Amino acid sequence: MPPGHPTPVRVLLRGLELIQVLNQHGSLTTAALSQKLRLARTTVNRCLATLEASGFVERLPSRRYALTLKACLLSHGFDAATERIEPVRAALHASSAKVQWPMSLMRLQFPQMFIEDSTDRESGFAVEYFERGMLVPVLTTASGRALLAFSGTRVRELLLEHLWPNRPEETQASWADRAALDRELATTRERGYARSTRPLRLTEQGSIAVPIMADGEPVAALAVRFALSAVSFEDARKRLLPALQDIALGKVA
């Protein structure tokens, strides 16, 4: 430190490091935080208790810890979209035991979808883990299709000007041309949710997703993934869609 500079407050530095790790990796257990920070669990627990009491960190039902909206706004200031998503994220985890299948909360980080949060670690049915910070394509995911379908015409066209020429190969079998994609997006708006299918090693994975709206535009999308050998799309519409719609409104399903 420069001469005459006050001695750093070590516990404050540890708290800031903890916030930084949660920001980079998403929700983590105490053990994982202890390992990443190279601190004793007792120290990590004290830091977490202080941050939780101050409203910067919350404990999830899975016994993992995550940053709250209050912490996220430290660097970005007021963000209406983030404020809209925060109750959705809380409802997502509160509903994980009832829904059982893994759910993901995604936002657009052009030109891909950014996984904001997920219940994969809380679900006994997850065969792969979608973690916070992962990026996935827009056109191949139900979340991306929901965001496109419910965006205003101008926003949707601006997005597709880039996405359509650079679309993944697997989408070319689904849509022979832009008109076919436009028809699917129109159907998605009519039924109120998007759907997609993806091959897995032993079965196919189905997904349905609903938009999270703010001021008439989607600011995020909420999706649930399931094995099509266990749950058909019709079953998902009846059993899982109502829960997704409640969570998108910030209600516990």
Pick from 180, 53, 202: nearest CA to 127: 202
220 phi and psi angles, rounded to 5 deg: -170, 180
- Cis bond before residue 211 (omega within 30° of 0): no
Angle between helices 178-191 and 142-150 (to 10 degrees): 80
155 neighbors 206 (Cβ within 8 angstroms): no
Q: What is the largest CA-CA distance in the chain?
A: 70
- Cα 40 to Cα 1, 45, 98, 201: the distances in Å are 26, 9, 34, 40
CA dihedral 78, 79, 80, 84 (to 10 degrees): -110
**What does the buried/exposed string (b/e) look like for 115-148 if buried means 16 or more CB atoms within 10 Å of the residue's CB?**
bbbbbbbbbeebeeebebeeeebbbbbbbbbbbb
pTM to 2 decimal places: 0.72
The secondary element (H helix, E strand) that includes residue 15 is: helix 10-25
Q: Work out the angle between the directed axes of helices 41-53 and 10-25 (0-180°, nearest 10).
A: 80
Are 105 and 87 spatial neighbours (Cβ–Cβ below 8 Å)? no
Which residues are bridge partners to 199 per DSSP? 204
Does 10-71 match 79-248 in CATH topology? no
Domain 10-71: give its CATH architecture.
Orthogonal Bundle (1.10)
Q: Domain coordinates of the chain in residue numbers? A: 10-71, 79-248
Q: In a structure prediction context, what are the per-residue pLDDT tens digits for the chain, which is 253 residues long?
A: 456 556 667 878 888 999 989 888 888 999 999 999 999 999 999 999 999 998 889 888 778 898 876 776 565 544 667 788 989 999 999 999 999 999 999 999 888 999 999 999 999 998 888 888 889 999 999 999 999 999 999 899 989 998 999 888 878 778 989 999 999 999 999 999 999 999 887 789 999 999 999 988 999 999 999 999 999 999 999 999 999 999 999 999 8
Q: Report pLDDT digits (tens) over 218-227.
A: 999 999 999 9
- Phi and psi at residue 111, in whole multiples of 5°? -100, 30
Residue with tokens 């949060």: 117
Crossing angle of the two packed helices 30-37 and 41-53, in degrees rounded to 10 = 110
Indicate the CATH number for domain 79-248: 3.30.450.40
